[in-house]
Structure 1
Amino acid sequence: MGPTVEAVQAMGWERPSPVQMAAVPIMNARRDGLFASATGSGKTGSFGLGIACVVDASVPHLQAVVLAPTRELSAQTSDVLSSLGLKVAHLKKRGTGCTKGNVLVTTPLTVANAITAGGVDLSHVVCVVLDEADRLLDDQFAQQTDVVLGGCPAQACRLLFSATLRDDVVMAAETFLRDPISVVVGNPHGSTRAVRQELSYVGEERHKIYTLKKLLAGAIAPPVLVFCSTQARVLAVYKAMADVAVPIGFLHGSRTPQQRQKTIDELRRGEIWVLLTTNLLARGIDIPGVSLVVNFDLPPSGIEYTHTVGRTGRQKEGRAVTLFTDEDGPLLRPIATAARLAGSDVPAWMFNISTMGRRKRKEVSQHHRVRDTLPGEDALMASRKAGTKRPFHASHSHSVIMPISNEALAEGEVPPAKRKAKKGKGKGKKKKAKKAE
């Protein structure tokens, strides 16, 4: 029994998934391929097992290259391939060299720089894998990906894996794939049906925080991922959620690789229950057992929506809630379409919200708008209006869940809160002092 078989059994893989059954024979035959399969369907295992079939461990050269759009995904993939018995190589700093190994897993920019610096030899590569291919072929990575493909032998087989299949990705792939075999598992344009998807109309932007707090106030099973559109939004939501009685963390692209990995490890260990992030974690990163995904901001496209929603529903049924406002109307249709294709019940009015008149929109908002208060706040507000003084209880106060570190403050990520000076104090003392003089 070979080491790969033992490794597969040790990882608890009892039977191959549909995409694995298709990909491994194609890779073993050294054919080019384009694979579209939902998140959590076993794509990493597909090309990992396929690479194990084509790599000769007795040859002391790089024989396979796996490209991923983020450092986190490449690190996770490296761990999986190492567990399968493959020897993974690592590039040295600034691309000056490469450690010994048969497989290189990295980002396009890192290996492209190493090629330019002459720090890596790809002349013996027999297999190139593009994981999250739709990202690697977009404007951000396309040029770097071309450099890597050009640095590999022309006869090397090229395999593209993605959760979604767009026409522009197929057209781009046709420029460098040779007579490829295309494999589509499930719906290539939609997300998994194992996720209960909800589109939640909140009317106005200010209602989002209330809605998120209500979601987290219920019975939730960590970990929970909350996606925001920008780094600034992540930090703003993090500060606004300081009174929520669950441990919350945040993650975005400007944090150092060490900080990002530390946060992910804390999430996996259960030290963080809710993680606020940008689309950094929307691609490929496997956080086991995610029970709930919240799109705090509407994703910019149906493709991105599919990837954020795909962070849950992997080992068990998951739930995804997407918040949207009146201003999101023009962007809602592709999101609603993706949710409907995945089997969710999407009301017809959501497809027409951008064309609704003011009266109709008001009518809809009266039926679907989220209330402005959280459980227990109604009585407090009523007592305040009536002038009733309530005794202070410690249980009514909440400290900051995860104090901002001095390191974060030094980086300027989260500015310290400014205390407002009470009117009339301080100035009066100065005036009295002047009169006394």
Structure 2
Amino acid sequence: MSAEDHWEEGDVETTRAEASLLNKVLREKLVDSSLQVDVTNNDPKSPLYSIKTFEELHLRKELLDGVYAMGFNRPSKIQETALPMLLADPPHNMIAQSQSGTGKTAAFVLTMLTRVDSSLSSPQALVLAPTLELATQIGDVCTQMAKYIPGIQVAYAVRRGARPVKDEVDEQIVIGTPGTVLDWVKRGKLDPKQLRMFVLDEADVMISMQGHQDQSIRVQKMLAATCQVLLFSATYDEDVTSFAGRIVSDPIMIKLAREEESLDTIRQTYVSVRNEEDKYDALSGVYGIISIGQTIVFCKSRVASANLAKRMSDEGHAVAVLTGDMDVTQRVHVLERFRHGKERLLITTNVCARGIDIDQVSVVVNFDIPYDVINRRPDYDTYLHRIGRTGRFGKTGLAVNFVDGARSLDNLKAIEAHFGKTIDLLIPSEVAEKEDSSDW
């Protein structure tokens, strides 16, 4: 059996919910995106204008102070367009598509904090999220933004094991998962008809999870006709379109398209090595001379990742390791450390190949070129997603492939032909010469 037959299938992908959570953790600050915001307005009477500062929204001082305390100095692209319409009276329903880190959570949280009356001890705004972890992330944003507004409280309608829940809900904002929210409604803890605002976040994740779609629709049907309804999704395919149509009536639609994987900003290279020992020496060389940004190294298996990480750590290198056998809490911890620069090199499997965007990454190394064992050919899709972890948001990046023999070289040449992009032989000294330049 060849070495290529030892590829692990279990690490190929993280779930949509986990990827969304990890992206929220990674993007503490907004992505400065230049992508165009497209607006479709179904209400001809609705205003279509944008703002460039938060002051233009005429927010109460306490809320504005909370916004600035979070480091939001100016509105993001989607906030510029969405916030004036979200805050308009009478309220407008909205469907918005935007990727993680563009400010959608802050936009609807700011709208909620404007709509709710802190002097009333009853639920007035409800947010549905797919998982406990995502609900907690939204709650954290809400708590931070409301830190200067007295009386604002958040309740979590999520399953927390055997932990008792009080009979009455007097918090103004409820954030929860669909099943638990429905349970609260059945038990009389939450009256949907009293809600002023209903938000369904991560719609594409929601419909991928068993039962969440039907439960969300059941909650929406209980709302008063005057309740403002918002739906957010990172993607907007046919399934999400159908779902959104059942949730949101007469919406304004805003689209900030997710950046697709692209090879245009990535210089693809390869290093010729003889064996695993050469691979390690080459990695140490690349790691030692790159001082900008951070690096992700992709290995073919959990065992290979763990072995490589141990060897580098034993030799004094600050490295992180992330594999599919870790739970989401462990992965969050690893990625937070990596984002903050505690380690500059992350060794991982394909668990990080799809959907997770780490803005600081300038180099991706394929320690093992991805291979499709079933079809006996290079895995072109995984290759694209792996090296797409660099060169994000208009930045330039470098991809380095280790080639350790004739078969490995043949696979690389097949990848080169498949994408129609040249993969150059990399001379390690070139990296040192170019690391201060944006032109890889």
* Alignment TM-score, normalising by the size of structure 1: 0.57
Q: Deviations over 1:322-368 (max 9, x none)?
A: 8553425463698599999976999xxxxxxxxxxx99757547985
Question: Structure 2 CA distance, aligned partners of 1:155 and 1:22?
Answer: 23
Question: Residue 241 of structure 1 aligns to which amino acid in structure 2?
Answer: A
Q: Deviations over 1:106-147 (max 9, x none)?
A: 344543454456554444222222232211222444244334
Q: Is the 8 A contact 2:296 2:365 kept in 1?
A: no
Question: Structure 2 CA distance, aligned partners of 1:202 and 1:143?
Answer: 51
Question: Residue 381 of structure 2 aligns to which amino acid in structure 1?
Answer: L
CA shift at 1:181, angstroms? 0.9
Within the candidate set 311, 319, 327, 1:255 is matched to 327
Question: Structure 2 CA distance, aligned partners of 1:102 and 1:37?
Answer: 27
Partner of 1:237: 305
Q: Is the 8 A contact 1:89 1:99 kept in 2?
A: yes
Q: Deviations over 1:181-227 (max 9, x none)?
A: 11123x3463699x955677899xx98x8687776555356776778
Within the candidate set 353, 356, 359, 1:312 is matched to 359
Within the candidate set 118, 138, 145, 1:77 is matched to 138
CA shift at 1:265, angstroms? 6.1
The number of equivalent residue pairs is: 328
- Flag structure 1 segments of 5+ consecutive residues without an equivalent: 278-294, 300-304, 347-357, 376-437
Partner of 1:181: 252
Q: Secondary structure in 1 aligned to 2:356? A: helix
Question: Structure 1 CA distance, aligned partners of 2:338 and 2:244?
Answer: 36
Q: Is the 8 A contact 1:249 1:272 kept in 2?
A: no
Partner of 2:25: none
Within the candidate set 47, 53, 65, 2:114 is matched to 53
Partner of 1:129: 199
Question: Residue 39 of structure 1 aligns to which amino acid in structure 2?
Answer: S
CA shift at 1:249, angstroms? 4.7
CA shift at 1:178, angstroms? 0.3
Question: Structure 2 CA distance, aligned partners of 1:60 and 1:120?
Answer: 12
Q: Percent identity at matched positions?
A: 24
Within the candidate set 154, 179, 183, 1:88 is matched to 154
Change (3 A) 1:364 1:120: same
Question: Structure 2 CA distance, aligned partners of 1:275 and 1:333?
Answer: 17
Q: Is the 8 A contact 1:131 1:161 kept in 2?
A: yes
* Larger gyration radius, structure 1 or structure 2: 1
Change (3 A) 1:197 1:234: farther
Partner of 1:289: none
Change (3 A) 1:333 1:138: same
Within the candidate set 152, 159, 168, 2:230 is matched to 159
Question: Residue 28 of structure 1 aligns to which amino acid in structure 2?
Answer: L
Question: Structure 2 CA distance, aligned partners of 1:365 and 1:191?
Answer: 15
Question: Structure 2 CA distance, aligned partners of 1:9 and 1:222?
Answer: 27
Question: Residue 146 of structure 1 aligns to which amino acid in structure 2?
Answer: I
Q: Is the 8 A contact 2:217 2:246 kept in 1?
A: no
Question: Structure 1 CA distance, aligned partners of 2:79 and 2:184?
Answer: 31
Change (3 A) 1:329 1:31: same
Question: Structure 1 CA distance, aligned partners of 2:392 and 2:335?
Answer: 31
Measured on the aligned residues, the alpha-carbon RMSD in Å equals 4.9
Q: Secondary structure in 1 aligned to 2:80? A: helix
Change (3 A) 1:296 1:28: same
Are 2:331 and 1:331 equivalent residues in the alignment?
Answer: no
Change (3 A) 1:164 1:273: same
Question: Structure 2 CA distance, aligned partners of 1:72 and 1:236?
Answer: 30
Q: Deviations over 1:132-167 (max 9, x none)?
A: 221122244424433443454454222122333323
Partner of 2:242: 171
Q: Is the 8 A contact 1:54 1:126 kept in 2?
A: yes
Q: Deviations over 1:229-262 (max 9, x none)?
A: 9xxx5576234421122142547686385x6666
- Within a 5 Å distance, the mapping from 1:185-264 to structure 2 comes to 185=256, 187-188=257-258, 190=260, 197=266, 216-219=287-290, 237-244=305-312, 245-250=317-322, 255=327
Question: Structure 2 CA distance, aligned partners of 1:73 and 1:8?
Answer: 20
Q: Is the 8 A contact 1:192 1:342 kept in 2?
A: no
Q: Secondary structure in 2 aligned to 1:14? A: coil
Question: Structure 1 CA distance, aligned partners of 2:364 and 2:180?
Answer: 35
Change (3 A) 1:337 1:321: closer
Q: Is the 8 A contact 2:231 2:248 kept in 1?
A: no
Q: Is the 8 A contact 1:235 1:250 kept in 2?
A: no
Change (3 A) 1:76 1:249: farther
Higher relative contact order (CA 8 A, sep 6+): 2
Q: Deviations over 1:3-24 (max 9, x none)?
A: 1011122223222122112222
Are 2:220 and 1:149 equivalent residues in the alignment?
Answer: yes
Question: Residue 325 of structure 1 aligns to which amino acid in structure 2?
Answer: P
Question: Structure 1 CA distance, aligned partners of 2:410 and 2:323?
Answer: 39
Change (3 A) 1:22 1:135: same
- Flag structure 2 segments of 5+ consecutive residues without an equivalent: 1-59, 147-151, 373-377, 398-407, 417-421, 430-440
Q: Is the 8 A contact 2:96 2:232 kept in 1?
A: yes
- Within a 5 Å distance, the mapping from 1:6-17 to structure 2 comes to 6-17=65-76
Question: Residue 112 of structure 2 aligns to which amino acid in structure 1?
Answer: I
* Alignment TM-score, normalising by the size of structure 2: 0.57
